[in-house]
Amino acid sequence: MLTFGIISTWFWSSLAMLVSFFFKKYAQRDLFINLTVLPLTLASPAFYSLHHTPKYLQTISKFNPLTYNIIALRESFLYGKCSGSFVTIFIFTLLFIVITSTIIAKGEFNASEC
């Protein structure tokens, strides 16, 4: 459970850094994050079972990284096992860390407003 929490934190931190690289002002970045966090949360199975939702919401949830976080967290907490969701999040975490590190190393972002 602790390992998954660390991996999940790395995932969302690296994703937040990647998103923030595309904005030059804090107000633009904050507006984008505020407008995307609520739909990400509501389109994930955070408040309901994914099996009881309409097909279109199940399809949207397949592209939502929060869905995999929640499924892996529930399975590790309730059943003590790691599933495909954990592996998916782990792979995406490694990918985002590599991309973020590469961008930071090359300096391909606007550091004047940081």
Query: Quick check: 13 and 99 in contact, CB under 8 A?
Result: no
> Which amino acid appears at position 10 of this protein?
W
For position 66, what pLDDT does the model report? 87
Model confidence at 110, in pLDDT bands (50, 70, 90)? low
Residues in CB range of 87: below 8 A, 6 or more apart:
none
Query: Per-residue pLDDT tens for 44-97?
Result: 888 888 888 899 988 988 888 888 888 888 888 888 777 777 888 888 888 888
Query: Quick check: 24 and 110 in contact, CB under 8 A?
Result: yes
pTM of the complete model: 0.70
Model confidence at 3, in pLDDT bands (50, 70, 90)? confident
In whole angstroms, give the CA distance from residue 73 to residue 83: 10
Q: How much is the mean pLDDT over the chain?
A: 83
What is the DSSP code (8-state) at residue 81?
-
Which run of H or E residues covers position 74? helix 65-78
The Cα-based distances of 31 to 12, 20, 35, 38, 50 in angstroms read 17, 11, 6, 12, 28
